[in-house]
């Protein structure tokens, strides 16, 4: 099969399309013919080697964390899917590799594709959808009437999180650039702060939750927005000790997580605010709940551009610029 492979870590490691053996299908695996995949900032970070300690992948590595496609084979103990099913997924961390024609996915990570979506649109959903779900529903336990700030509302996670937060009944504020202010309002944002002209911490106060997708100074300044008892959830900040515990990390990673997050956790405690780091997990059951919301018209995918598989290096470079509105999709099926 054809796949996009990196042979080494680094920003200059653009990768290559090459022939590689088809995956082996285990008893609990589902072999999927991939119709479309999408690109996430996570793919760029993995390519750079940012998670070498946490996710020690073996090189050469097939990148890719989203897929939509058709089941072509099921393992002996698979019970929920049959050949011909149209499915989508974010594979488990140790089973990534959706920049390829085929992938073997654990049954537990897979869900039926929303009937109302094309393969291209469905491929844009899993990683950002599960990230938003696990941040807002699991960690934040966001409730009707609460206030949430979602940073970078025009990004992949932001576009999904805005819609999910509105469905949950929250008042939603977001940050974005000048060109996207009206656009994110149409997605459901109640308050939009143009970060190019206004410091969000000067105009937003007494929020229950902040979903940080930026890290750095944005993470620090977000503490000023939250009220006592508020929750700061980051997908871009320093990993915390609970994250290291959840992934059963070795002692080196546990110490690193403790030290890297010490400053932000200390500042948060002083204000009676909780800080937590989220590294989303594959979850087919949650993806099934997301499917229901999509088919009900509650949430719609946001796709910026679609690239052909042969142009996947160009698609990665485009995402790296940080200007995409929503997701960038790569199509593997020639019409």
Regarding beta strands 226-234 and 207-212, do their DSSP bridges make them parallel or antiparallel, or are they unpaired?
parallel
**C-alpha count within 13 angstroms, C-beta hemisphere, residue 196:** 6
pLDDT in tens, 3-34: 999 999 988 667 999 999 999 999 999 999 99
Q: What number is the average pLDDT over the span 203-223?
A: 97
Distance CA 97, CA 83 (A): 21
**C-alpha count within 13 angstroms, C-beta hemisphere, residue 166:** 22
Distance CA 202, CA 329 (A): 36
Distance CA 56, CA 90 (A): 18
Task: Identify whether 24 is preceded by a cis peptide bond (ω within 30 of 0).
Answer: no
* CATH topology classification for 2-124+302-331: Quinone Oxidoreductase; Chain A, domain 1 (3.90.180)
Burial-class residue 6 by CB neighbours within 10 Å (0-12, 13-18, 19+). buried
Distance CA 177, CA 195 (A): 6
**Which sequence spans correspond to the domains of the chain?**
2-124+302-331, 128-277
pLDDT in tens, 240-276: 999 989 888 888 889 989 999 999 999 999 999 999 9
Phi, psi for residue 90 in degrees, rounded to 5: -110, 110
pLDDT in tens, 137-174: 999 999 999 999 999 999 999 999 999 999 999 999 99
Q: Do domains 2-124+302-331 and 128-277 have the same CATH topology?
A: no
Predicted confidence at residue 56, as pLDDT, reads 80
Predicted confidence at residue 13, as pLDDT, reads 65
For residues 223 and 232, is the Cβ–Cβ distance under 8 A? yes
Q: Domain 128-277 maps to which CATH number in 3.40.50.720, 1.10.10.10, 3.40.140.10, 1.10.3720.10?
A: 3.40.50.720
Burial-class residue 51 by CB neighbours within 10 Å (0-12, 13-18, 19+). middle
Distance CA 111, CA 83 (A): 14
For residue 51, name the pLDDT band (cuts at 50, 70, 90).
confident
Distance CA 68, CA 295 (A): 16
């Amino acid at each position: 099969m054809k796949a996009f492979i990196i042979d080494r870590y680094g920003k200059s490691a653009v990768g290559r399309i090459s022939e590689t053996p088809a995956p082996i299908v285990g008893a609990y695996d589902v072999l999927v013919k991939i119709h479309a995949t999408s690109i996430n900032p996570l793919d760029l970070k993995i390519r750079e080697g940012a998670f070498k300690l946490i996710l020690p992948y073996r090189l050469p590595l097939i990148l890719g964390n989203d897929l939509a496609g058709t089941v072509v084979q099921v393992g002996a103990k698979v019970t929920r899917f049959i050949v011909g099913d149209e499915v989508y997924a974010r594979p488990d961390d140790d089973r990534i590799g959706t920049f390829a024609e085929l992938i073997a996915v654990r049954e537990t990570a897979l869900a039926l594709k929303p009937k109302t979506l094309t393969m291209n649109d469905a491929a844009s959903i899993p990683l950002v959808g599960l990230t938003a779900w696990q941040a807002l529903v699991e960690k934040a336990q966001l409730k009707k009437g609460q206030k949430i700030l979602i940073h970078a509302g025009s990004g992949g996670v932001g576009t999904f999180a805005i819609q999910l937060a509105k469905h949950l009944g929250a008042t939603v504020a977001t940050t974005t650039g000048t060109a996207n202010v009206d656009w994110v309002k149409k997605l459901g944002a109640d308050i939009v702060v143009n970060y190019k002209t206004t410091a969000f911490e000067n105009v937003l106060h007494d929020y229950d939750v902040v979903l940080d997708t930026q890290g750095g100074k944005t993470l620090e300044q977000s503490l000023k927005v939250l009220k006592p008892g508020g929750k700061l959830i980051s997908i871009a900040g320093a990993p915390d000790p609970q994250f290291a515990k959840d992934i059963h990390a070795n002692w080196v990673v546990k110490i690193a997580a403790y030290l890297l997050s010490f400053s932000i956790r200390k500042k948060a405690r002083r204000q009676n605010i909780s800080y937590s780091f989220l590294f989303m997990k594959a979850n087919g059951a949650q993806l099934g709940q997301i499917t229901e919301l999509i088919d009900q018209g509650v949430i719609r995918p946001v796709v910026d551009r679609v690239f052909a598989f042969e142009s996947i290096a160009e698609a990665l470079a485009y995402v790296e610029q940080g200007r995409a509105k929503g997701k960038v999709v790569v199509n593997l099926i020639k019409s």
